[in-house]
Chains A and B, each alone.
Chain A
Amino acid sequence: MSLEPVAIVGIGETRPVRRSEKSLRGLVIEAVQAALADAGLKPTDVDAIVTDGLVMPNTVPRDFVAAQFGIDRRFDGGLSYTGAGIANAPKLAQFAISSGQADVVLCYFGVDWGTRASGPYGFHDLYEGKGTFEKPYGFSAQPSYFALWATRYMHEYGLTEQDLATIAVTQRQNALLRELAQAKSPMSYDDYFAARVVSSPLRVPDCCLITDGAAAFVMTSRERARDLRQPPVQVLGVGFGSEPISGDDGFTQPGGMMHITGAKAAADRALGEAGIGLADVNFAEIYDCFTISCLMQLEAIGFCERGEGPAFIREIGLGIGGGLPVNTHGGLLSHSYLLGIEHIIEGVRQLRGQAGDAQVSDAEIGLVGLLSNPDYGVLLLGRDAR
């Protein structure tokens, strides 16, 4: 089967907030309405819905969205969980479109972990090993998982707190250029070092925000995209990667501890499909759940060798005008914690030239890398060539 090129033609998002007055279902509907309006499409133009296979089915299922918009689905699918799944939504859309099973595919994602009682920490309860052998020791929160990695990484590779600060401070600067970003106050290096340590060596600004919010995007064939309202953004390549290690073991055991193996496989698959190299990428939107994980993904994807991340970010510059602008909207650290879908929205915005003061000049190709340990998704987006 030869695959038909596809494009992202509509994007929508709610204003991300710590606690929303709206229900999560209401937030998703708002984001989908915005994405359809942005594309200039009617709800009834949509004939397929895809999203992640774990969080949305238990909160805002696809049938609910279909019913609220009168979308009569011809095709429907759930992918790997959270970010890695959402990054691969364009691949599933491409399969459906190329095989004649859909014309217009909607993808949405949202969380209400700002108001939901268990927040993000409840998520790992599905892993029995963690529940039995980690929780009784007070080891049940993502900041502590990545703090263990950071301590060891500092020991092995000479990473400093100053390097982690650079990631946090740079992304805050990016976020302050965006009206929608959740973080509103400037942050200097002094502010970073004055911030509270939550799980050493990680401080509050090393950790992602907590957000209530939702986002959505609409995909169709590249051919049909050219007739729509917005400059279409091309899907150049999509890659999934993982490793055979379960979520029980992924943060602590020798096979998973400090490894993001799936990122390399996902990046190689996406780059191979696009027929480009990392040197062709003008900016990157990376799953920055923590400063340390953002750094380690830059290495794992292949922007630099393992252990060279600290030197890489010191030299290349991650800001808007830097050698590799990263998380141009502020990322999960300073824009919003929607588990990666906002990274895709931002990639589209950059490639349309609609990023305002945070616009990367001459942005032609962007890489989105989303982590759902041990799964990983890489999406390569390109500016329309017309």
Chain B
Amino acid sequence: MSSDKVSPEFVGFFENARQGRLAFPKCRACGQFHWYPMPVCPHCYEDQIFWQPVAGTGEIFSYTHVRHPFDKSRRDALPYTVALISFPDAPGVNFITNIIDAAEADITIEGKVNPVFSTSETDEPIVLFRLAE
């Protein structure tokens, strides 16, 4: 999607990702992270939100290997793995992504992963993950 369609609360994520950084919204008032981005903090309802960069290394909370083309544009890309990632330095954030370059058998809950920033001229960057060495 083009940037003019992205909700204003979401822009900070893409600005950071374009610089190769993973960052999540954090509340200055209560010090807690949240996800997805929203106008006020869902923990304390204050609006003092900023983008806090994190190290990026995360852990697989859950995953699914998708084998059906729910999304027709992915018909030729099956199967692919959707994973939900949690981060030790961003408690409260679960990030949806794809695990790439991995055999299905090697993908496990609690497996460690690192981000890969995929940028293009036309679309917002997306953040994929690889299994940590």
Binding site for B on A (CB under 8 A): 121, 128-129, 132-141, 143-144, 147-152, 155, 196-202, 244-246, 248-249, 252-255, 257
Contacts and interface: CB of A to CB of B under 8 A. Distances in A.
Contacts of B95: 133
20 contacts: A128-B7, A132-B7, A132-B10, A132-B36, A133-B13, A137-B97, A137-B98, A138-B74, A140-B70, A144-B66, A148-B82, A149-B62, A152-B61, A198-B66, A199-B64, A199-B70, A199-B82, A200-B64, A245-B42, A248-B38
Nearest to A207: B68
Interface in B50-67: 61-67
Contacts of B82: 137-139, 144, 148, 199
Contact of A133 (B65, B96, B123): B96
Max chain A C-beta neighbours (<10 A), residue from B7, B65, B109, B124: B65
Contacts of B42: 244-245, 255
Contacts of B77: 138
A199 B68 contact: yes
B67 A199 contact: yes
B120 to A, nearest CB: 11
Interface residues of B, number: 37
A119 to B, nearest CB: 9
Contacts of B63: 148, 151
Contacts of A148: 62-64, 82, 84
Contacts of A138: 66, 70-71, 74, 77, 80, 82, 98
Contacts of B34: 253
A139 B67 contact: no
B96 A141 contact: no
Max chain B C-beta neighbours (<10 A), residue from A137, A199, A248: A137
Interface string B12-47: 010000000000000000000011111000100000
B126 interface: yes
A199 B65 contact: yes
Contacts of A133: 10, 13, 36, 95-96
A114 to B, nearest CB: 16
Contacts of A128: 7, 10
B88 interface: no
